[in-house]
C-alpha cells in the first residue's frame, strides 16, 4: 500500500487526487498541507512514500528549494510535481532536482495510474529512486555527438552513451526512467538555446511525445528504444532530414483520423492536432506536403470510402450512413458523394448490388 500526501495551496487538490485514485486499492490518501512549512513537517514525521507537490511559475524558485529539501529529508521519497501551467521550464526544474514525474492540468487518470503502478513496482522490488542532483554531469559534448553524426553512426554513439551514463549495472528501473527524462529535457533545452534558427514545432512535438510515452514503458529495453528514437528524431530535425519525420507524423495523423471516424468522434483538424501535441497550421502544412492534398480533402475521401463499404454491405438508410461517416446533414453528404463519384449514394448502392448479383449468379 502506497501512502501519499499532497502539498498545495488549493484546498480542493487533495480531494481531486483522492477522486482520481477512487478505484485504485493500492494507494491511500494521507491528507493535505496548504503551506510548504507544514508539508515539510509532516513529511519529516510520517515519511510518506509519495508526495504530490503543486508548483507555480511565479514561485518556481521557492518550490525548487522545497523539492531539494524534501529529497534531503527523505531521498527514497517519490515526488510528483503538478501545475496548472504547461511551461517546460517548470518541468525541467522539477526533474533536475529530483522529482520523479510532472503532471499538467487537466490531470489524466490513466497516466497518473500508470505512474503510480511503476512506483509501486519499484517499492515492491526495493528499487528506490536515488537523487542524482549531486552527481550531475554536463551533457553538452554528448548532445553534440548525437547531432554531428549520421543516423547509422548514431546507433553506435547512443549505445556508448546508454551504457556509460544512463544504464549502469546497479541502476534500477525507476532511476533509469528518471535519468532519461532528465537527459531528454536537457537535450530539448540545449536544442532550443543552440539552434534557434533551426528549431520549429517539430522539436516540441518530439519532446512532448517522448515525455508522454516514457510513462508507459515497462522495461529498460523499451526505455532505451524510446530514447534512441528521440535522439534520432532530434538529429533528423536539426540536420534538415525532416521528410521521413514528417511522413511519420502524417501516418500517425491518418491513424487517428481512421480511429476517430470509426468511433464516430468529432474529427476537426484542431482535435487531431491537440492529440498529436502540435498546432493545426503545422499539421495542415505537413499533411499537404506529404499527401499532396489538403487535410479536409483526405478526411472526406476517407469518409466516402467508408460510406461506399456501408452502402454495399448494409441496408442502412442514407441518412444513417451519412451520420456514421461524420456528416450531420444527409444532403451535404449526397452532394459531396455525387461530386466525387459522379452518382448519388442510392445509385452507387444499386449498381454495386447488380455487380454482386452477376458475380454470384453468372449466366
The CATH number given to whatever domain includes residue 348 is 1.10.10.60
User: Do residues 152 and 45 share a domain?
Assistant: no
Same domain, 277 and 336: no
pLDDT score at 134: 35
If asked whether residues 283 and 303 sit together in one domain, one would say no
Do both 320 and 255 map to the same domain?
no
Is the bond into 106 cis (omega within 30 degrees of 0)?
yes
User: Which pLDDT does position 136 carry in this prediction?
Assistant: 42
- Owning domain of residue 351: 297-360
| Domain boundary residue, one of 89, 110, 128 | 128
Contact (CB, 8 A) for 294 and 288: yes
Indicate whether 120 and 162 sit together in one domain.
Answer: no
- Same-domain check for residues 33 and 117: yes
CA distance 285 to 105: 29
Helices assigned H by DSSP within the chain: 13-20, 36-46, 60-73, 88-96, 109-124, 140-147, 151-161, 173-194, 201-213, 220-238, 243-262, 269-275, 280-291, 295-313, 318-324, 330-341, 345-360
What is the reported pTM?
Answer: 0.43
The residue ranges of the chain whose pLDDT is under 70 are: 57-64, 84-98, 105-106, 122-139, 151, 196-201, 240-245, 359-363
Final residue belonging to a domain, choices 71, 98, 128: 128
**pLDDT the model gives residue 244:** 63
pLDDT value of position 171: 77
Residues contacting 259, CB < 8 A, separation 6+: 265
Q: How many residues does the chain have?
A: 363
Domain boundary among 239, 254, 275: 239
Report the number of distinct structural domains present in the chain.
Answer: 4
Say if residue 13 is in the same domain as residue 61: yes
Residue 362 backbone dihedrals phi, psi, to 5 degrees: -65, 140
Tell me, what CATH number does 29's domain have? Answer: 3.40.50.2300
**77 close to 51: Cβ distance less than 8 angstroms:** yes
Rounded alpha-carbon distances, angstroms, from residue 222 to 83, 99, 173, 225, 232: 28, 21, 11, 5, 15
> What's the pLDDT at 91?
63
Amino acid at each position: 500500500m502506497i501512502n501519499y500526501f499532497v502539498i498545495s495551496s488549493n484546498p480542493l487538490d487533495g480531494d481531486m487526487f483522492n477522486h482520481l485514485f477512487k478505484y485504485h486499492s493500492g494507494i491511500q490518501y494521507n491528507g493535505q498541507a496548504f503551506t510548504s512549512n507544514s508539508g515539510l513537517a509532516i513529511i519529516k514525521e510520517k515519511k510518506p512514500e509519495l508526495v504530490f507537490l503543486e508548483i507555480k511559475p511565479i514561485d518556481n524558485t521557492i518550490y525548487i528549494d522545497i523539492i531539494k529539501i524534501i529529497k534531503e529529508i527523505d531521498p527514497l521519497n517519490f515526488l510528483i510535481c503538478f501545475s496548472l501551467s504547461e511551461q517546460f521550464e517548470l518541468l525541467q526544474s522539477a526533474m533536475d532536482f529530483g522529482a520523479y514525474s510532472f503532471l499538467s492540468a487537466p490531470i489524466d487518470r490513466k497516466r497518473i495510474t500508470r505512474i503510480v503502478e511503476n512506483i509501486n513496482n519499484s517499492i515492491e522490488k526495493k528499487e528506490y529512486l536515488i537523487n542524482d542532483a549531486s552527481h550531475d554531469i554536463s551533457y553538452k559534448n554528448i548532445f553534440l555527438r548525437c547531432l554531428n553524426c549520421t543516423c547509422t553512426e548514431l546507433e553506435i554513439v547512443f549505445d556508448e552513451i546508454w551504457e556509460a551514463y544512463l544504464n549502469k549495472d546497479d541502476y534500477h528501473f525507476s532511476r533509469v526512467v528518471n535519468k532519461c527524462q532528465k537527459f531528454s529535457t536537457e537535450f530539448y533545452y540545449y536544442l532550443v538555446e543552440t539552434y534557434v534558427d533551426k528549431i520549429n514545432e517539430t522539436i516540441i512535438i518530439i519532446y512532448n511525445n517522448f515525455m508522454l510515452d516514457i510513462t508507459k514503458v515497462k522495461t529498460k529495453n523499451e526505455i532505451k528504444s524510446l530514447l534512441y528514437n528521440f535522439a534520432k528524431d532530434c538529429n533528423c530535425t536539426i540536420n534538415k532530414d525532416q521528410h521521413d519525420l514528417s511522413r511519420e507524423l502524417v501516418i500517425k495523423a491518418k491513424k487517428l483520423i481512421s480511429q476517430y471516424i470509426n468511433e464516430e468522434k468529432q474529427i476537426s483538424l484542431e482535435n487531431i492536432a491537440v492529440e498529436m501535441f502540435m498546432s493545426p497550421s503545422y499539421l495542415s502544412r505537413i499533411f499537404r506536403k506529404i499527401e499532396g492534398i489538403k487535410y479536409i480533402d483526405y478526411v472526406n475521401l476517407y469518409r466516402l470510402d467508408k460510406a461506399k463499404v456501408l452502402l454495399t454491405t448494409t441496408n442502412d438508410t442514407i441518412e444513417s450512413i451519412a451520420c456514421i461517416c461524420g456528416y450531420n446533414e444527409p444532403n451535404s453528404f449526397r452532394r459531396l458523394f455525387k461530386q466525387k463519384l459522379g452518382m448519388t449514394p442510392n445509385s452507387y448502392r444499386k449498381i454495386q448490388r447488380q455487380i454482386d448479383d452477376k458475380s454470384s449468379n453468372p449466366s
